[in-house]
C-alpha cells in the first residue's frame, strides 16, 4: 500500500454556520482528473430543496382544503343562510394584484440575470409592495366580514374560511418578510457575486405562494 | 384448542369471525414456524467456523418471484374469505322488528326502548341506564349514537364492536344465541371514566323477555296510557311496524 | 486507501478543531455528525421518560390502585396512587414521546444525519445550517412537550391518537393546556422534520460521490431516502390537523365539533392519513439498518439488492392507501373498509419480500454473532411476529373483535420495539466505533441484548393472549370487568417482565458511557459505581418499602441485576472504551474509510470514488472477505467507472 502524501485540505473560509466550507456541491467530484464526467444534477440544491418544500406545503394545504371540502359537502346548506356572502368581486381584483407581484418577481430575476442591480431592487420592492397591498385588502375584507358577523367560531363556514385564508395569509406574510430581507440584501449589493441562492429560493417560494392563491380562491370563494 | 383464549361466543356471526381468526392463526402460525425454523437452522448451520467461506451470491430471481407470489396468493385468498363475513356483519341490515336505541355519554350507556308506539323520540320511550335486555335468537337492531365524544359499543361475547360517533346515528345488529348476562364495555377512550364505563346485556329466553318487558317497559312507561293486557305481553320491538296506528289513537 | 485518509485526517483534524469554539463544536454545530450525536442523546434521554411512563402504566395494570413506587412525591394528593385521568395521561405521553421523540430522532434524526453524508461520500449535508436548525427546532419541540407535564390540569390525556371531539373540547378530558401544548409541540416537530427531510433528500439526490450511482447506495441510505420522502409528505398532514385541533380548542373553530357543523371522523382521517405512513417512517430505517448489518456479519452480499430497494419503495407508496385500516369500526363507510382490507393485505407482500431476502442473506453465510448482528437478527424475527399479528387486524371481520384490545398493543410493540428499537440498538452498537471513535464492551452488549430479548418477549407476547381474551386497551383497571378478571395473572407477569425490561437497559447505559469515557478514566469508574450503588439502593428501598404481593420478588430481581452490573464493571474493562480502528467490522461502505470519528468534512483532500455496490463480501475478486466500495478494481487502478 502506498501512502499518498496529501496536501492540506482546502481551508474553510469560515468554519462555522452559514458558509459551509464544502468543496464543490456537484457530486463532490474533486476535479476533472478524478471524475472527468462529474455527476451534474439537473436541478441544483436550492431548486431541489424548494421543490420539496413546495411538495410539503402542498400536503399541508391539501390537509386543510380536503378537510374544508369534507365539511362543505356534508353540510346541509352551504353557505349557511344567515351568514354574509364572501366578497368575490374585490377578491378577484385582489387576485390580479397578487398575480402581478409574481410578474414583478419574475422581472426581478430577469434583472438579476442581466446583472442590473438597481432594477433588481426596484422590482423586488414592487413585488413586495403588491404583496402587501394584497394582504391589506384581505385584512380589510376580513374586518368587514367580522363586522357582519362571520367569525371563526360562528360555524363551519366561518371556521373553514378564516382558517384556510388565514393559513395562506400567514404564508404570504412570511414570504413577504423573506422578500423584504432579500431586497435589503440586494440593495446592499449582495447577489451580484454569483451567490444567488437565497434570492432564487425566495423567488420560487413567492411564486408558490402566489400560485396557491387562485386554487384557494376557487375552492373557497367560487365553487 | 384456542377456546380458552377467546371468550365464549354467543352470537350468530361470531362463529364466522372466530373461524377467520382461527384460519389466520394457522396461516400465520405456519408462516411463523417456517420463518423461525429456517432462521434457526441457518443460524446453527452457517455460524462462523474456521475455514468456512460464505457463498457469494446476489440473489435468485426464480426464488424471489416464488416468495413474492405465494404470500400474495395467500393474502388474496384471505381477503376474499374476509369479504363475505364483513358484508354480512357491517354492510347488510337483516329484517327485524326489534330495535333499541343506544346513546352513549360520558360515562354511561343509555338504552332506549321505543315503548308501545314502536317509535323513538316519543313520550312513551323507556330509557334504561347501563342495561339492555334482549330476547335470545332474535335479531336486534341497535341505533348507536353519542352525546359527547366517541365511545365504542363492545360486546366481547357477541364479537361485536362499533364506535358511537356524536352527530350521527349508526345502525348495527346482532343475534344472541344463548341466554345470559354479558358485559358491555366501552372500547374507545372517552375520558377519565372510560375504564369502568360498562353496561350489561341480559339475554332472556322469549318468555322471560316478554315478562321483563311487561314489567319494565310497557307498564312503567305508559301506565296512564291504559296498557291493555294484550299490549303488555307484547315485546316492544314487535310492535314497531304494525302498531303505528294504534299508538296514534 | 485507508492510509490516505489517515494522513489526511491529521490535517483536517487540526483545521477543524482550532477554529471552532466549544459552542460551535458541541452545541450549535453544523456538522452532520455532531447533529447526529445530538439527536441520539435527545432520543435516548427521552426514552427514559417514555419508558418510565410505560412502567407506571404497567404498575397500575398489574396492581390497580396501589401506590406506584416512587410516585408518592409527585402525586401528593393521592399518595402515589394513579387516578384514571393520570393513567390516561401516562399512556398518552408514553406513546407520544416514544414515537415522536425517541424513535424518530434516533432512527431518522441520528442515523439519518450520520449515515447519509458518510455513506454516499458527501462532506456534509446540502444545507448544514438548516440541518442545525432542524435539530434545535425538534429539540425545542421536545422541551415544549415535556413542559406539558407541569401545567395546570396535566398533560394531554386523549391517547396518542387524540381522537376528536374528546381532544377538541377541554371539558371532556379536563385537560386544558396540556393538550394545547401537545398540539403546539407536534406542530413545531413537524416543521423541524420538514427541514431535516428536505436536507436528506437534496443531499442524496445531488451530493453523491463520484461513482455512487443510486443503485450502488447502501440500503440504509435507500431506506432513509424513502423515509425522508414519507416524512416530507406525511407530517404536513399532521401539522395541518393539529393546527385545526388547536384552533378548535382555543379559538372556538368548529372543525371537529359536531355541534358547530364539524365532523369528528375528519380528525381520524387526517390523523391516520399521516399516521399510517408514520408507522413506516418508524420501521423503514430499521429495515435499512438490518439490511446493512446482516451482510456485514454474514460476510456475504445482501440477497436481492434491487428487490430490497424496490420493496421499500412499494411500502412507501402503499402506505398512503391503507390508512383506513385503523378505522374499520369507526363509523366510516363499511365499503371503504373493504377497500382498505385489500390494500392492507397487499402491503404485507413487500414486507414478505424483505423478510425472505433477509433469510436468503443468511443462507450459506458465515455468521458472526456480534452484538449488532444479534440485534439485527432480533429485529428480523420480532418484526415478523409483529407483521403477522398485523394480518389478523387486516382482516376486517377479525378486526371487529380485536380492535382496541391488547392484541393491538402487542402488535404495536412488536413492530415498534421489536422492530424499530432493536434496529436502533443494532445501529448504535454497529456505528458506535465510527460515531464516537471508541469500541463498546461486547460483554455488556450481550447482557443487554439477551436481557432485552427475553424480557421483551415475556412482556409483549402475553399481550396477544389477554387481547384475544378481550382486554381493552386504554383501560385503567381491568379488574373492573368480570370477564377480564381471570386474566389478571397475565397482567402481573407482563408488568414483572416490563420492570425487568427496564432494568436490563442499565447495562446499555453503562456500556454507552463506559465506552465513551473509557473505564480507565478513574472518575468515570467512581461515578459508575456510585450510580450502580444508588440504583441498587433505590431498588431495594422502593420495593421493600411497599411490601406486597409480588413486589419483593422484583426487588430481588432488581438487586440481582444491579449486582450483575457491578460484577461486570469490575470484570470487563478490556475492549470497552478503547480507541476504535478505522474499520472494526471489515465493512465495505464508505463511512469506514473516514477516520474514527470522522473529522469535520469527513475525508481529507479527496473524497472516495466508488467502484462497486456496497455488499461485495466474500467476493472472488478479492483475497479478503470484503471489498470496500472505494477500492479500484484489480488491474484497472486508473479505471473510473466500473
Ligand atoms: C412500525 C410500525 C408498524 C408496522 C411496520 C406495522 C405494520 C403493519 N400493520 Fe400496524 N400498527 C402500528 C404500527 C405498525 N404496523 C401501530 C402503532 C398501530 C396502532 C395505532 C393505534 O391505534 O394506536 C397499528 C395498528 C394496525 C392496525 C389497526 C388495528 C386496529 O386499531 O384495529 C392494522 C389493521 O389492519 C395494522 C396492520 C398492519 C399490517 C398488515 C402491517 C404490515 O405492514 C405487516 C407486514 C409484515 C408481515 C406480514 C410479516 C412478514 C411477512 C412474511 C413472513 C410473509 C408471509 C406472510 C403471510 C403469507 C401472511 N396495524
Ligand atoms: C414507539 C415506541 C414504543 C415503545 C418503545 C414502547 C415501550 C413500552 N410500552 Fe408502549 N405504547 C406505544 C409505543 C411504544 N411503547 C404506543 C404507540 C402505545 C399506544 C398508546 C395509546 O393507546 O395511545 C403504547 C401503549 C402501551 C400500553 C397500553 C396502555 C393502554 O392502552 O392502557 C402499555 C401497557 O403495557 C405499554 C407498555 C410499554 C412498555 C412496558 C414498554 C417498554 O418496552 C419500555 C421499556 C423501556 C424503558 C423502561 C426505558 C429504559 C429505561 C432506562 C434506560 C432507565 C432505567 C430503568 C429503570 C430504572 C426501571 N405501552
Ligand atoms: Cu366510553 Cu370509553
Ligand atoms: Cu396502519
Q: Give how far Cα A20 sits from Cα of C29, C136, C306, C609, Å.
A: 11, 18, 35, 22
Residue C12, pLDDT above cutoff 60 = no
Share of chain C above pLDDT 70, in %: 88
Domain total of chain C: 3
Q: Take residue C380 and report the three cell numbers written for it.
A: 428480523
Are residues B183 and B109 located together in one domain of the fold? yes
pTM of the model: 0.90
- Residues of chain C in contact with residue B183, where contact means CB-CB under 8 angstroms, are 481-483
Centroid of ligand 2 to alpha carbon of C163 (angstroms): 20
Q: Which of C393, C420, C437 is the last residue of a domain?
A: C437
Question: What is the rounded distance in angstroms from the CA atom of residue C175 to the CA atom of residue C155?
Answer: 7
Helices (H) and strands (E) in chain B, counts: 6, 10
Fill in the DSSP letter of residue B143: E
Determine the structural domain holding residue C614 and report its residue range.
1-29+581-634
pLDDT of amino acid A5: 34
Average pLDDT over residues C151-176: 92
Beta partners for B100?
B142
Average pLDDT over residues C558-586: 71
DSSP-based three-state secondary structure for A207? helix
Fill in the DSSP letter of residue C566: H
Q: Take residue C376 and report the three cell numbers written for it.
A: 439485527
Report the run of H or E that residue B68 belongs to, with start and end.
helix B61-86
Name the minimum distance, in Å, from the CA of C428 to any CA of chain A. Answer: 27
pLDDT (tens digit per residue) in B47-92: 988 888 888 988 889 999 999 999 999 999 999 999 999 999 999 8
Are residues B107 and B175 located together in one domain of the fold? yes
> Sheet containing B99-105: which strands, arranged edge to edge?
B126-129, B108-113, B99-105, B139-146, B170-175
Which pLDDT band, with edges at 50, 70 and 90, does C11 fall under?
very low
pLDDT (tens digit per residue) in A124-134: 999 999 999 99
Name the minimum distance, in Å, from the CA of A215 to any CA of chain C. Answer: 17
Q: What is the dihedral of CA C506, C507, C513, C516, to 10 degrees?
A: -160
Q: Is residue B233 part of a domain?
A: no
Query: B14-23, C235-244, C260-269, C502-511: which range is least confident on average?
Result: C502-511
Average pLDDT over residues C464-474: 94
Residue among B81, B151, B28, B154 at smallest CA distance from C397: B81
Report the run of H or E that residue B181 belongs to, with start and end.
strand B180-185
Q: Which of C437, C452, C476 is the last residue of a domain?
A: C437
Judged by CB atoms closer than 8 Å, whether chains meet at B46 and C158 is answered as no
Question: β-strand B198-204 against B131-135: which pairing, if any?
Answer: parallel
Task: Look up cell 425472505; give the residue.
Answer: C356
**CB contact at 8 A, C362 and B43:** yes
Q: What is the dihedral of CA C139, C145, C148, C149, to 10 degrees?
A: -90
Residue B140, pLDDT above cutoff 50 = yes
Centroid of ligand 1 to alpha carbon of C417 (angstroms): 13
**CB contact at 8 A, B90 and C332:** no
Q: Is residue B78 part of a domain?
A: yes
DSSP-based three-state secondary structure for B10? coil
Are residues B119 and B211 located together in one domain of the fold? yes
Are residues C246 and C285 located together in one domain of the fold? no
CATH code of the domain in which B20 resides? 1.10.287.90
Determine the structural domain holding residue B26 and report its residue range.
7-47+58-91
Are residues C96 and C169 located together in one domain of the fold? yes
pLDDT of amino acid C23: 79
Judged by CB atoms closer than 8 Å, whether chains meet at C404 and B154 is answered as yes
pLDDT of amino acid C178: 94
Which pLDDT band, with edges at 50, 70 and 90, does C416 fall under?
very high
- Please state, rounded to an integer, the average pLDDT across all residues of chain A: 82
Are residues C280 and C427 located together in one domain of the fold? yes
- DSSP symbols for C140-195: HHHHHHHHGGGSTT-B--STTTT-TTTTTSHHHHT-SHHHHHHHHHHHHHHHHHHH
pLDDT (tens digit per residue) in C350-378: 999 999 999 999 999 999 999 999 999 99
pLDDT (tens digit per residue) in C279-328: 999 999 999 999 999 999 999 999 999 999 999 999 999 999 999 999 99
**CB contact at 8 A, C178 and C157:** yes
pLDDT of amino acid A92: 93
Question: What is the rounded distance in angstroms from the CA atom of residue C193 to the CA atom of residue C428?
Answer: 21
Average pLDDT over residues C218-236: 96
Are residues B114 and B213 located together in one domain of the fold? yes
What residue ranges line ligand 1, CB within 6 angstroms? B 27-28, 31, 35, 71, 74-75; C 161, 279, 282-283, 325-326, 344, 347-348, 351-352, 355, 384, 387-388, 390-391, 393-394, 399, 403, 408, 411-412, 415-416, 419-420
**CB contact at 8 A, C610 and C590:** yes
The packing angle between helices C488-503 and C505-517, to 10°, is: 10
Residue B226, pLDDT above cutoff 60 = no
Task: Look up cell 365464549; give the residue.
Answer: B8
Residue with the bigger pLDDT between C499 and C278: it is C278
Question: What is the rounded distance in angstroms from the CA atom of residue C257 to the CA atom of residue C245?
Answer: 10
Q: Is residue C566 part of a domain?
A: no
pLDDT of amino acid B224: 42
Which residue out of B189, B193, B200, B201 would a mutagenesis test of the C interface target, given it has the greatest number of C Cβ atoms within 10 Å?
B189
Task: Look up cell 467502484; give the residue.
Answer: C611
C468 contact partners, CB below 8 Å, separation of at least 6? B2, B5, B6, B21, C402, C405, C407
Q: What residue spans of chain B are helical by DSSP H?
A: 14-45, 61-86, 206-213, 219-221, 229-233, 244-248
Are residues B142 and B170 located together in one domain of the fold? yes
**CB contact at 8 A, B20 and C482:** no
The packing angle between helices A45-74 and C177-206, to 10°, is: 140
Are residues C48 and C100 located together in one domain of the fold? yes
- Please state, rounded to an integer, the average pLDDT across all residues of chain C: 88
Which pLDDT band, with edges at 50, 70 and 90, does C549 fall under?
very low
Residue C160, pLDDT above cutoff 80 = yes
Name the minimum distance, in Å, from the CA of B179 to any CA of chain C. Answer: 16
**CB contact at 8 A, A135 and A176:** yes
Residue C4, pLDDT above cutoff 60 = no
pLDDT of amino acid C20: 67
- DSSP symbols for C452-499: HHHHHHHHHHHHHHHHHTTPBTT-S-GGGSGGGGGGHHHHHHHHHHHH
Average pLDDT over residues C544-556: 58
DSSP-based three-state secondary structure for B112? strand
Share of chain B above pLDDT 90, in %: 67
Which residues have CB atoms below 5 A from the ion given as ligand 4? C 276
Residue C16, pLDDT above cutoff 50 = no
Q: Is residue B154 part of a domain?
A: yes
pLDDT of amino acid C87: 95
What is the ipTM score, two decimals? 0.89
Q: What residue spans of C29-149 are helical by DSSP H?
A: 32-62, 84-96, 112-120, 128-147
Average pLDDT over residues C225-232: 96
Question: What is the rounded distance in angstroms from the CA atom of residue C435 to the CA atom of residue C341?
Answer: 43
Residue C6, pLDDT above cutoff 60 = no
- Residues of chain A in contact with residue C262, where contact means CB-CB under 8 angstroms, are 71, 156, 159
pLDDT (tens digit per residue) in A197-207: 889 999 999 99
Report the run of H or E that residue C424 belongs to, with start and end.
helix C422-436
pLDDT (tens digit per residue) in B93-131: 998 889 999 999 999 999 999 878 888 888 888 899 999
Question: What is the rounded distance in angstroms from the CA atom of residue C325 to the CA atom of residue A88?
Answer: 41
Q: Is residue B22 part of a domain?
A: yes
Report the run of H or E that residue B200 belongs to, with start and end.
strand B198-204
Which pLDDT band, with edges at 50, 70 and 90, does C619 fall under?
confident
Which pLDDT band, with edges at 50, 70 and 90, does C97 fall under?
very high
Q: Which of C409, C437, C465 is the last residue of a domain?
A: C437
Residue C558, pLDDT above cutoff 80 = no
Are residues C24 and C48 located together in one domain of the fold? no
Are residues C207 and C287 located together in one domain of the fold? no
Judged by CB atoms closer than 8 Å, whether chains meet at C166 and B154 is answered as no
- Please state, rounded to an integer, the average pLDDT across all residues of chain B: 85
Q: What residue spans of C518-625 are helical by DSSP H?
A: 522-545, 551-571
Are residues B138 and B71 located together in one domain of the fold? no
Question: What is the rounded distance in angstroms from the CA atom of residue A173 to the CA atom of residue C616?
Answer: 53
Beta partners for B111?
B102, B128
Residue ranges and CATH numbers for the domains of chain A are 89-222 (1.20.120.80)
Burial class for B224, CB neighbours closer than 10 Å (0-12, 13-18, 19+): exposed
pLDDT of amino acid A194: 72
Question: What is the rounded distance in angstroms from the CA atom of residue B187 to the CA atom of residue B155?
Answer: 9
Helices (H) and strands (E) in chain C, counts: 21, 0
pLDDT of amino acid A30: 45
Q: What are the two backbone dihedrals, phi and then psi, of residue C65, each rounded to the nearest 5 degrees?
A: 55, 35
Question: What is the rounded distance in angstroms from the CA atom of residue C126 to the CA atom of residue C201?
Answer: 9
Amino acid at each position: 500500500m502506498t501512502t499518498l502524501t496529501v496536501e492540506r485540505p482546502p481551508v474553510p473560509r469560515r468554519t462555522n454556520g452559514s458558509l459551509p466550507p464544502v468543496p464543490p456541491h456537484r457530486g463532490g467530484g474533486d476535479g476533472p482528473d478524478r471524475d472527468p464526467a462529474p455527476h451534474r444534477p439537473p436541478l441544483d440544491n436550492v431548486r431541489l430543496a424548494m421543490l420539496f418544500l413546495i411538495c410539503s406545503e402542498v400536503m399541508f394545504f391539501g390537509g386543510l382544503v380536503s378537510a374544508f371540502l369534507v365539511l362543505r359537502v356534508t353540510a346541509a346548506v352551504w353557505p349557511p343562510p344567515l351568514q354574509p356572502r364572501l366578497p368575490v368581486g374585490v377578491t378577484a381584483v385582489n387576485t390580479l394584484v397578487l398575480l402581478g407581484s409574481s410578474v414583478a418577481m419574475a422581472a426581478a430575476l430577469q434583472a438579476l440575470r442581466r446583472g442590473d442591480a438597481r432594477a433588481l431592487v426596484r422590482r423586488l420592492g414592487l413585488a413586495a409592495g403588491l404583496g402587501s397591498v394584497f394582504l391589506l385588502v384581505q385584512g380589510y375584507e376580513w374586518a368587514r366580514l367580522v363586522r357582519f358577523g362571520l367569525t371563526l367560531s360562528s360555524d363551519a363556514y366561518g371556521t373553514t374560511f378564516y382558517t384556510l385564508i388565514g393559513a395562506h395569509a400567514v404564508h404570504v406574510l412570511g414570504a413577504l418578510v423573506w422578500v423584504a430581507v432579500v431586497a435589503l440584501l440586494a440593495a446592499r449589493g449582495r447577489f451580484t457575486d454569483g451567490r444567488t441562492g437565497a434570492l432564487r429560493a425566495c423567488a420560487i417560494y413567492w411564486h408558490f405562494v402566489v400560485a396557491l392563491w387562485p386554487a384557494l380562491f376557487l375552492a373557497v370563494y367560487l365553487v | 384448542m384456542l377456546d380458552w383464549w377467546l371468550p365464549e361466543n354467543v352470537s350468530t356471526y361470531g362463529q364466522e369471525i372466530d373461524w377467520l381468526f382461527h384460519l389466520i392463526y394457522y396461516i400465520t402460525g405456519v408462516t411463523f414456524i417456517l420463518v423461525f425454523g429456517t432462521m434457526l437452522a441457518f443460524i446453527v448451520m452457517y455460524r462462523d467456523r474456521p475455514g468456512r467461506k460464505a457463498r457469494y451470491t446476489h440473489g435468485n430471481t426464480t426464488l424471489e418471484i416464488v416468495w413474492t407470489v405465494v404470500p400474495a396468493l395467500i393474502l388474496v385468498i384471505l381477503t376474499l374469505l374476509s369479504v363475505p363475513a364483513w358484508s354480512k356483519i357491517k354492510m347488510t341490515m337483516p329484517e327485524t322488528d326489534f330495535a333499541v336505541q343506544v346513546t352513549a355519554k360520558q360515562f354511561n350507556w343509555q338504552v332506549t326502548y321505543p315503548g308501545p308506539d314502536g317509535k323513538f323520540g316519543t313520550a312513551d320511550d323507556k330509557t334504561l341506564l347501563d342495561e339492555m335486555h334482549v330476547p335470545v335468537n332474535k335479531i336486534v337492531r341497535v341505533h348507536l349514537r353519542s352525546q359527547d365524544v366517541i365511545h365504542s359499543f363492545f360486546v366481547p361475547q357477541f364479537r361485536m364492536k362499533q364506535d358511537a360517533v356524536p352527530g350521527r346515528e349508526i345502525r348495527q345488529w346482532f343475534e344472541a344465541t344463548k341466554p345470559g348476562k354479558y358485559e358491555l364495555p366501552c372500547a374507545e377512550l372517552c375520558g377519565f371514566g372510560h375504564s369502568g364505563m360498562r353496561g350489561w346485556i341480559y339475554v332472556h329466553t322469549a318468555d322471560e323477555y316478554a315478562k321483563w318487558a311487561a314489567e319494565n317497559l310497557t307498564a312503567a312507561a305508559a301506565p296512564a296510557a291504559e296498557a291493555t293486557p294484550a299490549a303488555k305481553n307484547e315485546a316492544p320491538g314487535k310492535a314497531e311496524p304494525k302498531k303505528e296506528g294504534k299508538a296514534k289513537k | 486507501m485507508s492510509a490516505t485518509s489517515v494522513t489526511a485526517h491529521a490535517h483536517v483534524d487540526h483545521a477543524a478543531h482550532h477554529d471552532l469554539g466549544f459552542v460551535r463544536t458541541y452545541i450549535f454545530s453544523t456538522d452532520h455528525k455532531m447533529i447526529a450525536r445530538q439527536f441520539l442523546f435527545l432520543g435516548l434521554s427521552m426514552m427514559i421518560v417514555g419508558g418510565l411512563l410505560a412502567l407506571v402504566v404497567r404498575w397500575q395494570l398489574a396492581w390497580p390502585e396501589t401506590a406506584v413506587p416512587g410516585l408518592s412525591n409527585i402525586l401528593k394528593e393521592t399518595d402515589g396512587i394513579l387516578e384514571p385521568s393520570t393513567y390516561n395521561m401516562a399512556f398518552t405521553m408514553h406513546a407520544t414521546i416514544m414515537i415522536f421523540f425517541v424513535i424518530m430522532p434516533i432512527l431518522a434524526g441520528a442515523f439519518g444525519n450520520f449515515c447519509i453524508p458518510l455513506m454516499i461520500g458527501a462532506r456534509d449535508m446540502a444545507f448544514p445550517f438548516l440541518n442545525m436548525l432542524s435539530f434545535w427546532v425538534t429539540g425545542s419541540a421536545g422541551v415544549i412537550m415535556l413542559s406539558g407535564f407541569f401545567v395546570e390540569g396535566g398533560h394531554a390525556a386523549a391517547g396518542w391518537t387524540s381522537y376528536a371531539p374528546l381532544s377538541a373540547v377541554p371539558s371532556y378530558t379536563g385537560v386544558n393546556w396540556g393538550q394545547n401544548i401537545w398540539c403546539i409541540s407536534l406542530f413545531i416537530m413537524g416543521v423541524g422534520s420538514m427541514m431535516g427531510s428536505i436536507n436528506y433528500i437534496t443531499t442524496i439526490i445531488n451530493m453523491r460521490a463520484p461513482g455512487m450511482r443510486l443503485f450502488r447506495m447502501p440500503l440504509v441510505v435507500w431506506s432513509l431516502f424513502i423515509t425522508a420522502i414519507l416524512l416530507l409528505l406525511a407530517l404536513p398532514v399532521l401539522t395541518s390537523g393539529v393546527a385545526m385541533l388547536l384552533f378548535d380548542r382555543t379559538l372556538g373553530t368548529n372543525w371537529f365539533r359536531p355541534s358547530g357543523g364539524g365532523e369528528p371522523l375528519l380528525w381520524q382521517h387526517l390523523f391516520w392519513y399521516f399516521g399510517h405512513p408514520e408507522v413506516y417512517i418508524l420501521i423503514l430505517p430499521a429495515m435499512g439498518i438490518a439490511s446493512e448489518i446482516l451482510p456485514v456479519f454474514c460476510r456475504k452480499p445482501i440477497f436481492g439488492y434491487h428487490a430490497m430497494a424496490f420493496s421499500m419503495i412499494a411500502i412507501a407508496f402503499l402506505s398512503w392507501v391503507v390508512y383506513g385500516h385503523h378505522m374499520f369500526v369507526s363509523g366510516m363507510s363499511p365499503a371503504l373498509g373493504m377497500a382498505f382490507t385489500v390494500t392492507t393485505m397487499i402491503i404485507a407482500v413487500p414486507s414478505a419480500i424483505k423478510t425472505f431476502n433477509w433469510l436468503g442473506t443468511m443462507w450459506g453465510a458465515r455468521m458472526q454473532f456480534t452484538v449488532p448482528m444479534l440485534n439485527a437478527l432480533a429485529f428480523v424475527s420480532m418484526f415478523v411476529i409483529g407483521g403477522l399479528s398485523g394480518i389478523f387486524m387486516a382482516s376486517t371481520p377479525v378486526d371487529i373483535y380485536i380492535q382496541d384490545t391488547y392484541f393491538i398493543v402487542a402488535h404495536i410493540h412488536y413492530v415498534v420495539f421489536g422492530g424499530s428499537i432493536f434496529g436502533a440498538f443494532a445501529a448504535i452498537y454497529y456505528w458506535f466505533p465510527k460515531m464516537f471513535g471508541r469500541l463498546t464492551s461486547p460483554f455488556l452488549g450481550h447482557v443487554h441484548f439477551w436481557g432485552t430479548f427475553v424480557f421483551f418477549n415475556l412482556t409483549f407476547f402475553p399481550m396477544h393472549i389477554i387481547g384475544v381474551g378481550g382486554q381493552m386497551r386504554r383501560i385503567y383497571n381491568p379488574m373492573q370487568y368480570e370477564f377480564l378478571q381471570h386474566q389478571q395473572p397475565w397482567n402481573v407477569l407482563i408488568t414483572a417482565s416490563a420492570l425487568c425490561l427496564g432494568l436490563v437497559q442499565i447495562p446499555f447505559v453503562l456500556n454507552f458511557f463506559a465506552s465513551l469515557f473509557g473505564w480507565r478514566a478513574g472518575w468515570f469508574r467512581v461515578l459508575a459505581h456510585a450510580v450502580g450503588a444508588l440504583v441498587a439502593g433505590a431498588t431495594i428501598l422502593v420495593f421493600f418499602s411497599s411490601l406486597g404481593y409480588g413486589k419483593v420478588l422484583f426487588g430481588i430481581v432488581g438487586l440481582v441485576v444491579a449486582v450483575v452490573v457491578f460484577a461486570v464493571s469490575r470484570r470487563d474493562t478490556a475492549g470497552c472504551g478503547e480507541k476504535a480502528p478505522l474499520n472494526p467490522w471489515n465493512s465495505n461502505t464508505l463511512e469506514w474509510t473516514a477516520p474514527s470519528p470522522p473529522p469535520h468534512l469527513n475525508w481529507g483532500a479527496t473524497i472516495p470514488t466508488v467502484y462497486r455496490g456496497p455488499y461485495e463480501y466474500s467476493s472472488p475478486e478479492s483475497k479478503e472477505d470484503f471489498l470496500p466500495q472505494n477500492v479500484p478494481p484489480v488491474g484497472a487502478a486508473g479505471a473510473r467507472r466500473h
